[in-house]
Amino acid sequence: MKKLFITLLFMFVLAACGTEGATDNTPNSTPGNTADNTTQGSPDVKEEETITLYESDANAEYTIPFEEKFSGDEGDLVPFIFSEVNKHDVELLDYKFEDNDTSLILNLGDDVYTIQGSAGASMFVETLARSYFGNLPNIQQITFIHKGSYEPILDHMNIGEPYLRENFDM
C-alpha cells in the first residue's frame, strides 16, 4: 500500500511539473499581458456615452435634467432608463415597441399601486416620459400597462392610455 501511495504521489508531482511553464499560443498567455482581446475592437461593445435623464425637483413640482453614463446596446436602454429614473420601486416586468417603433409599451408590476396621489403619479410619468422621449427620438407615445392589461386601475395615472410626445413639449 505504501509503495502504491508513493508511486501515485510521484506520478502526480511529475504531471504537475510537466505543466509548469507550458504556454499556449494565444496573445493573452504572454506574461504581463492582461488585455482582454475578446472585447477590443469588437463591434458589439459600445463606448460609454452620456445621456440626459429627468428627475423630480425637491418639491415634486417640476422635472429637472441630470446626466448619466450609459454603455450598452439599444436593447439595454429602456430598462436602464427605467431603473435610473424610477424612484417609486415600481417593477418593469417587460416592454415592447409597436407601430414601427414609434410606440413604447411599459408593462408594470403590482408595485404601481404604491404611487401615491396625483403629484406622485405626475412625477413618475413625467420623469420617465421625458427621459424616454429625450433619448429615443422615434418614440411618439408611451403607454403604461399593468401586468399585461390596458385596463385603468388608478384614478391619478393613465394606465392603458398613451402619453404623447407633444404633451411634453419634446
Residue type, position 88, single letter: H
For residues 134 and 65, give the distance between their C-alpha atoms in angstroms, rounded to a whole number: 10
Inside any domain, residue 81: yes
Inside any domain, residue 25: no
Residue 100 has pLDDT above 90, yes or no: yes
Inside any domain, residue 2: no
Given a contact cutoff of 8 angstroms between Cβ atoms, the answer to whether 23 and 31 are in contact is no
Residue 7 has pLDDT above 90, yes or no: no
- Domain of residue 113: give its range: 49-168
Q: Nearest-CA neighbor of 146 among 101, 99, 97, 111?
A: 111
The one-character DSSP state at 63 is E
20 band by pLDDT with thresholds 50, 70 and 90: very low
**pLDDT for 116:** 85
> Stretch 103-127: mean pLDDT, rounded?
93
Inside any domain, residue 34: no
Residue 170 has pLDDT above 90, yes or no: no
- More reliable by pLDDT, 22 or 80: 80
Inside any domain, residue 37: no
Residue 25 has pLDDT above 90, yes or no: no
- 3-state SS, residue 143: strand
Left (φ > 0), alpha (ψ -120 to 50) or beta: where does 14 sit?
A: alpha
Inside any domain, residue 118: yes
Given a contact cutoff of 8 angstroms between Cβ atoms, the answer to whether 152 and 170 are in contact is no
Inside any domain, residue 7: no
pTM above 0.75, yes or no: no
Q: Nearest-CA neighbor of 90 among 3, 134, 45, 153?
A: 153
Residue 160: burial class (beta carbons within 10 Å; 0-12, 13-18, 19+): middle
**How many domains does the chain fold into?**
1
Return the exposure string of 79-92: e unless at least 16 CB atoms fall within 10 Å of the residue's CB, then b: ebbbebbbebebeb
Inside any domain, residue 39: no
